[in-house]
Structure 1
Amino acid sequence: MIKVVIVEDEINARNSLKKLLSLLNSDIEIVGETGYVSEALQLLSTQEVDLVFLDVRLEDGTGLDILEQLEDVSFKIIFTTAYDQYAINAFKYSATDYLLKPLDPLELDEAIKKAQSSIENEKQRQELLEVLKNNLAKKEAQIVVKTTEQQYILKLQDIVRLEADAAYTVFITIESRIIASKNLRHYQEMLSEDFVRCHQSHLVNMKHVKSLYKGKFLKMTNDDLVAISTRKRSDIISLLDRN
């Protein structure tokens, strides 16, 4: 039996989540619910909890306030949030589980199954939470990059470019090369407007572009030459002119 606590300040949203949980999974026991930081701290300090559905914004603070005040965060967390593009990007960058309200039953079911089957490494979980807090606080933006063996936390400003390698992506930073286990399109959709697809195989950080070389290449701050496709050439030149 999965012991669940729901921390959600909207009564309708809370009731909807409880109803969906009862319909989707009979192995869930809701051991507590609240919409307040103070009450959530009391619940999570005294109850044995496996999974918490945690709203980002609450009546008297945020879900992150709860995590910062707890001495031990040993439970799985699924954040819930209303549609906010900045918050969504923060969750994506930090690779933290989240659901958009109103909740989609299929997405909720998938999230529950993932929570059931995953045994997260404690160090990795803490790193993901730190990246999330950093991104939500609008500090220096970071992204979690996972390889087949481990995860890396990169500052966006340190990424020079990304290069497609079949189903993988090579991150070239100012200090290293990392082969990530997602394709280039995945990161193109995730990263900010500073990252531009100049070729089917290349995504560049425009802040690291030094110059246009021979009209066919971008010279990067690490002196790499990155090809520009014919189709993208006029768009890239326009961007360079604006900068």
Structure 2
Amino acid sequence: MLNTIIVDDEEFARSSLYFLLLENCESIHISGIAKSVAEARNLLAQHTIDLIFLDIAMPGENGFELIPDVQKSKAHIIFTTAYDQYALKAIKANALDYLLKPIDIDELKVAVEKAVKLIALNKNGNGRNENMQNLAVNLSERNEIRKISLPNGQGYSLVNIDDIIHIEADSNYSVFYLANKDKITVSKVLKEYEEILPDNQFIRIHKSSIVNLNYVKEYNSKNGLEVILKNGEKIAVSRRRASDFAEKIKSYTRFDSDK
């Protein structure tokens, strides 16, 4: 059983989530309900909490301001929000979960199941605090995402995006090829990372490939359009993505020469 609290300033949102959890998630024990960050801090001080359903946009302190307190605990966060796209990118990049309001029952079940697995893997807290710190930095500075957290089976690998050479789709998995020659396989589809990674540096050149433009050594059309990376790998560019790639590489080389 996961000891859980709900944090939301809207009464309807609190009560509807409470009953959805009660009726659909047997692994959840609701230890308390808070309508503000201040009340949530009190609950964290009084109880050992595994999971927090945390609203973001609240009057006074927003949900992100609870992060320093969460870092001191072992809690996992599922954000409940209709927040801006930058915040969602930052949340996704740090392997944390979020549910868009109104909350869908099936999505809620999936998020809870994922939390159960993550909490079991991270009982010692390794990786989670680093993810939370990275999220806090991303949200406070609101620059482009520069690091992403990749679940690796035992916890998380926090990866600088400049170290990603390319990403390959493998069914419902994504395989990251890194500059240090490591490979990390993640159980998320390629589209999720296409949405997270900055589009001035990464481009999807095929339904199964995203490349980091920093590692493109050359491209040619000898055997159909293909990209040759600095590590020697050759990756095909699909016909329908060829014009987008040509425009992106022009913009990238122009920007790079202006540095």
- Hey, what's the Cα distance between the residues in 2 that align with 1:82 and 1:74? 25
- Hey, what's the Cα distance between the residues in 1 that align with 2:86 and 2:246? 28
Match of 1:159 among 164, 178, 199: 164
CA contact (8 A) 2:81 2:99 kept: yes
Tell me which amino acid in the other structure corresponds to 1:24.
N
Match of 2:246 in 1: 237
- Hey, what's the Cα distance between the residues in 2 that align with 1:71 and 1:127? 9
Match of 2:255 in 1: none
Tell me which amino acid in the other structure corresponds to 1:134.
V
Tell me which amino acid in the other structure corresponds to 1:120.
L
Q: Secondary structure at the match of 1:232?
A: helix
- Hey, what's the Cα distance between the residues in 2 that align with 1:32 and 1:42? 10
CA contact (8 A) 2:166 2:178 kept: yes
Match of 2:219 among 212, 217, 231: 212
Q: Deviations over 1:44-74 (max 9, x none)?
A: 1023434321122332223332231467312
TM-score by length of 2: 0.76
Tell me which amino acid in the other structure corresponds to 1:119.
A
Pairing of 1:76-155 with structure 2 (within 5 A): 76-116=76-116, 118-121=119-122, 122-137=125-140, 138-139=142-143, 140-148=145-153, 151-155=156-160
TM-score by length of 1: 0.80
Go from structure 1 to structure 2 and tell me whether the alpha carbon gap of 1:5 and 1:200 turns closer, same or farther (over 3 Å shift).
Answer: closer
CA contact (8 A) 1:83 1:101 kept: no
Match of 1:173 in 2: 178
Tell me which amino acid in the other structure corresponds to 1:94.
N
Go from structure 1 to structure 2 and tell me whether the alpha carbon gap of 1:144 and 1:48 turns closer, same or farther (over 3 Å shift).
Answer: closer
Q: Which runs of 4+ in 1 moved over 6 A?
A: none
**Deviation (angstroms), 1:3:** 3.6
- Hey, what's the Cα distance between the residues in 1 that align with 2:177 and 2:49? 41
Identity of aligned residues (%): 35
CA contact (8 A) 1:41 1:66 kept: yes
- Hey, what's the Cα distance between the residues in 1 that align with 2:158 and 2:244? 31
CA contact (8 A) 1:170 1:177 kept: no
Match of 2:36 in 1: 36
Q: Deviations over 1:90-114 (max 9, x none)?
A: 2221111221111112222333344
- Hey, what's the Cα distance between the residues in 1 that align with 2:108 and 2:191? 25
CA contact (8 A) 2:126 2:155 kept: no
**Deviation (angstroms), 1:237:** 1.7
Q: Secondary structure at the match of 2:126?
A: helix
**Deviation (angstroms), 1:27:** 6.6
Go from structure 1 to structure 2 and tell me whether the alpha carbon gap of 1:220 and 1:63 turns closer, same or farther (over 3 Å shift).
Answer: same
- Hey, what's the Cα distance between the residues in 1 that align with 2:204 and 2:91? 23
Match of 1:197 among 204, 217, 224: 204
Aligned length: 243
Tell me which amino acid in the other structure corresponds to 2:197.
L
Q: Unpaired segments of 5 or more residues in structure 1? A: none
**Deviation (angstroms), 1:149:** 5.3
Go from structure 1 to structure 2 and tell me whether the alpha carbon gap of 1:209 and 1:8 turns closer, same or farther (over 3 Å shift).
Answer: same
Go from structure 1 to structure 2 and tell me whether the alpha carbon gap of 1:2 and 1:144 turns closer, same or farther (over 3 Å shift).
Answer: closer
Q: Secondary structure at the match of 1:80?
A: strand
Tell me which moved more, 48-57 or 208-217: 208-217
**Deviation (angstroms), 1:189:** 5.0
CA contact (8 A) 2:127 2:157 kept: no
Q: Secondary structure at the match of 2:49?
A: coil
RMSD (Å), alpha carbons: 3.1
Q: Unpaired segments of 5 or more residues in structure 2? A: 253-259
